[in-house]
A = this chain, B = another copy of it.
Amino acid sequence: MKKTNIPRYKTPRKRKKRTPGESPGIFVVTENALTSKIHLYIYDAENIIKKEFGTIQDVYTAISKNPRKFYWIDIQGIGTQDVLNSVKEKFGINALVMEDIVNTHQRPKFEEFNNYLFVVNRMLELDETLNIRNEQLSMILTEDTLITFQEDYKDILDPIRNRLIHRKQTSIRTLGPSYLLYAIMDIATDQNFNLINRLGDELDLVEDSLYNKAEKSIMYRIQEIKKLMLSIRRIAWPEKDKLNELQKSGSKFIEPEVKVFIRDVADHNTQIIDLLETYRETSTTLMDIYLTIINNKMNEVMKILTVISAIFIPLTFIAGVYGMNFAIQDPVTGKLLHKNMPELYWPNGYVYVWILMIIITIFQIIYFIRKGWFKD
C-alpha cells in the first residue's frame, strides 16, 4: 500500500529539552529566538508617547523623566540576553520567572509576587492548511507598568495598540496597565473563540462529506481536527484556572473596575470549553458513524457476493452434471448402458433442465426478497 498523502497536523515541538540538574534561575535565551525590539508607551487619560528603544536602561531613563503616568514596555522577540537581564534587575524579577519567559512552552498561569504579577498567555493562530501557530505571551504587571514579552514580531495586538493611541479618556487610558492586561487576554480569548468556530465549521464539512460519501480520507480529517482540539483544550483548561485566580486575587495591581472585565473573559473562556466538549462528542460520533457506514458497506458487499454465488453455484452444478460423459453405449462392446444419463436423450431434456434452473432461481430470488436483501 502506498503512503497516503494526507497532510497531517504535527504538534510543533518548541519545547526545549531540559538539561536535568541545571541551576534554576540561570536563564539562557534559546538559539533561534529573535532579537528583542522594545517599544515604550507612556500614557495617561489625555496624552500618549510611543517610542522605540534599544536597551532597557534607556527605557528606564525615559520612564523616570515622565513620572506619574502609566507605562507599557512592549518587547517583541526574546532573543537578546542583555535586555532580559536588565528587566530582571531593574524590576526585581525572580530568576524562575525569567526562565519561564524564555522557555516558551509554559501553560497559561498566574503567579503573584510582592512587587509584581506574572501572567502567561498563549496566542493561537490557524493558517489555511490547518497548521496552528502557538505563541507564548508573557506579561509582568506592576503598579504603573505592564511589560509584555512575545516570541514573534508579528502579532495580534495591533488593535489594542491603536485603541491605546487613539481613544483618549476611555477605559484603556484611564484604568491603567491592569486594563491593558485584560485587553490582551480578551483579544487572545476571542482569537481562540474564532479558531474553535473554524474547527466547528470543518466538522460540519466533514459531516456533510460523510453523509454523501464515506471515504477513507474523512477518518484522517476527523483525527486531525481532534488533535487540534486537544491542543486548544490544553490551553483552555489552565486558562480557566488562571482567570479564576486573577478574579480572586486581592492584589493591589489590579484595579477593582477591571475585575468585572476579567469575569467577562472567564465567561468567554467557559464558552470555549463548552464548545470543545460539544465538538469532542461530535467528532466521536462522526467516527462512530464512519465505522458503521464501513460495516454496512461490508454487509452490502457480502450480500452481493452471496446472492450471486447462491444463485449460480447450484445452477453451475446442474450444468456440470449434464456435462458428465457417462456413456450410453459401451465403446468396445457396443452394449447399451440405459441407466447412464438417459435424460440426455429425452426429446425435451434440455428444455426440462432450463425449466428446473429457472424454478430454482425464482425460489432463491423470492427467498432473498423475503430476507429483505434487495431493499435498502
Contact = CB atoms under 8 A, between A and B. Distances in A.
Interface in A1-22: 1, 3-4, 6, 8, 10, 15, 17-22
Interface residues of A, number: 130
Contacts of A322: 324-326
A362 interface: no
Residue of A24, A294, A346, A353 with most partner-chain B CB within 10 A: A24
Interface string A165-183: 0010011100000000001
B350 A345 contact: no
A69 interface: no
Interface stretch (A85-93, A141-149, A305-313): A305-313
Interface in A156-206: 156-160, 163, 167, 170-172, 183, 186-188, 190-191, 193-194, 197, 204
A271 interface: yes
Contacts of A290: 292
Copies of this subunit: 5
Contacts of A219: 289, 292
29 contacts: A4-B211, A10-B204, A15-B197, A21-B157, A21-B158, A21-B163, A23-B163, A23-B171, A24-B186, A96-B264, A107-B271, A215-B376, A219-B292, A230-B281, A231-B278, A234-B278, A290-B292, A295-B295, A302-B306, A305-B310, A306-B308, A309-B313, A312-B313, A320-B320, A322-B325, A328-B331, A330-B345, A331-B345, A337-B345
B319 A324 contact: yes
Contact of A294 (B188, B295, B353): B295
Given A107-B270, A292-B294, 4 more contacts: A8-B207, A213-B372, A320-B320, A326-B344
Interface of A: 1, 3-4, 6, 8, 10, 15, 17-25, 94, 96, 105-107, 109, 111, 156-160, 163, 167, 170-172, 183, 186-188, 190-191, 193-194, 197, 204, 207, 211-216, 219-220, 223, 226-227, 230-231, 234, 238, 260-261, 263-264, 267, 270-271, 274, 278, 281-282, 285, 287-292, 294-299, 301-306, 308-310, 312-317, 319-332, 336-337, 339-341, 343-351, 353, 371-372, 376
